[in-house]
């Protein structure tokens, strides 16, 4: 309960304080390429319940990652727009997820939500642990694999590399977080995230 109250208050305050920046970023996305300002994608949330995650759109509409095939971003992905390159590098494309936190679909800190396609590959024991809590905007795996797309770009088969190498490591970190979670740990992860973004 304390975590939910903390999430709600921080998300509400963040949306209020960042409103001018959010409006400027929305305008940039709209003027940069044709299409909607926000990108919505189905992810798997707490207890396996699907929800729509919100981000600033960073890809061309005609090359949406919702198209069949690869659902990960690899290196200098040609689908990414000019504004999208900056938004992704700075992680500002994730700011609309404060709305997802406010409405209760996500938490500030928690395992990053995956698309159903990859959740279906989770080992049962880890799936049960990871999906027992609300997914988050940031977590230890997000910090450790902040440059995931560059790592995948060096692989001969990026999706296989993701499924067989990166995803198991991320799952292990997610499980460790869930088993050790506390408000103090969340505050430390938020602080580490802010420090990483300021570099």
**What is the 3-state secondary structure of the chain?**
CHHHHHHHHHHHHHHHHCHHHHHHHHHHHHHHCCCCCEEEEEEECHHHCEEEEEEECCECHHHCCCCCCCCCCCCCCCCECHHHHHHHHHCHHHCCHHHHHHCCCCEEECCCCCCHHHHCCCCHHHHHHHCCCCCEEECHHHHHCCCHHHHHHCCCCHHHHHHHHHHHHHHHHHHHHHHHCCHHHHHHHHHHHHHHHHC
- The confidence score (pLDDT) of residue 76 equals 64
Average pLDDT, 10 consecutive residues per value, the chain (199 residues): 93 97 97 94 97 95 54 71 91 96 97 96 97 97 88 86 94 97 96 88
C-alpha distances in Å from residue 130, one per residue of 52, 142, 178: 18, 14, 7
112 DSSP 8-state letter = P
Q: Look up the pTM and report it.
A: 0.89
Does residue 88 contact residue 58 with C-beta atoms inside 8 Å? Answer: yes
73 DSSP 8-state letter = -
Nearest-angstrom CA–CA distance, 46 and 60:
30
- The confidence score (pLDDT) of residue 183 equals 93
- The confidence score (pLDDT) of residue 69 equals 52
- The confidence score (pLDDT) of residue 79 equals 84
Nearest-angstrom CA–CA distance, 98 and 136:
10
- The confidence score (pLDDT) of residue 61 equals 85
């Amino acid at each position: 309960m304390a975590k939910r109250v903390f999430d709600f208050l921080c998300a509400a305050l963040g949306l209020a304080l960042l409103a001018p920046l959010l409006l400027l970023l929305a305008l940039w996305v709209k003027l940069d390429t044709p299409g909607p300002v926000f990108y919505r994608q189905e992810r798997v949330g707490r207890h396996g319940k699907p929800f729509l995650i919100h981000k600033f759109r960073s890809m061309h509409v005609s090359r949406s990652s919702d198209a069949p095939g690869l659902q990960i971003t690899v290196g200098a992905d040609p689908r990414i727009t000019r504004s999208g390159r900056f938004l992704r590098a700075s992680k500002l494309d994730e700011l609309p997820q404060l709305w997802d936190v406010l409405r209760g679909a996500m938490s500030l800190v928690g395992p990053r939500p995956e698309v159903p396609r990859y959740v279906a590959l989770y080992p049962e024991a880890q799936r049960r642990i990871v999906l027992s809590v609300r997914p988050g905007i940031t977590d230890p795996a997000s910090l450790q694999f902040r440059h995931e797309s560059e790592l995948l770009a060096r692989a001969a088969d990026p999706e296989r590399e993701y499924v067989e190498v990166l995803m198991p490591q991320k799952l292990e970190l997610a499980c460790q977080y869930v088993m050790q979670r506390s408000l103090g740990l969340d505050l430390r992860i938020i602080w580490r995230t802010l420090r990483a973004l300021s570099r």
